[in-house]
Chains A and B, each alone.
Chain A
Amino acid sequence: NAGVTQTPKFQVLKTGQSMTLQCAQDMNHEYMSWYRQDPGMGLRLIHYSVGAGITDQGEVPNGYNVSRSTTEDFPLRLLSAAPSQTSVYFCASSYSPLGGYPYEQYFGPGTRLTVT
């Protein structure tokens, strides 16, 4: 198993540009999520999904869109990049029956995004 993969590893954008961060997992996990990591702020949840076709907002969703058309993929779209979106982005997945046993979340290696 490759686990959770993310592409690209690094990206530089200009303000106003759009892009998609890719996330894929091969463990057949229902639950997938996106976090951003900023110094001194830990990880903050952007969006999450409990299965194909189902997504919901996390703590900091503004400026980001997600969709979940398959179990394996959960892309994160930046619609119009801003310098405040400079961050490291992590995707994570887990088995997670709704409200049930909290299986371990597996994290991808991250994407380091700089917006100038």
Chain B
Amino acid sequence: AQSVTQLDSQVPVFEEAPVELRCNYSSSVSVYLFWYVQYPNQGLQLLLKYLSGSTLVKGINGFEAEFNKSQTSFHLRKPSVHISDTAEYFCAVRAQGAQKLVFGQGTRLTINP
């Protein structure tokens, strides 16, 4: 079975500062990895995904993530955040050949002016 751990439940940062949201996963088989964002009172939308190939993937709104197989990590980064990035972020994993998507607990990103 797969599992996902998001190491920080809340991350406060100042506007225009860089941010990293950490995600570690566990799986006995190869996986696909995803980051989703949930703005207040909305559903989830896909930020980016890693399927194969280059370990650095770029997503919407200036976010990127790096897949590190040896560390079983998929951390999300943005070099300069904006107030509009205030949201909850979810890391998710799906085993290759499986249907189910397993989500982490979420990280609430708060941007202070």
Contacts and interface: CB of A to CB of B under 8 A. Distances in A.
A74 interface: no
A98 B43 CA distance: 25
B67 interface: no
Interface size class of B (residues with CB under 8 A): 20 to 34
Contacts of B7: none
Interface string A32-47: 0101000011111100
Most B CB within 10 A of own CB, among A33, A43, A92: A43
Interface stretch (A12-20, A79-87, A102-110): A102-110
B11 interface: no
Given A40-B9, A48-B100, A50-B99, A104 B105 contact: no
Interface stretch (B13-21, B44-52, B79-87): B44-52
Interface residues of A, number: 26
Contacts of A44: 103
Interface centre among A42, A98, A99, A105 (most CB of B within 10 A): A42
Interface of A: 4, 31, 33, 35, 40-45, 48, 50, 58, 90, 92, 96, 98-99, 101-102, 104-105, 107-110
Interface of B: 4, 6, 9, 32, 36, 42-46, 49, 51, 90, 94, 96-106
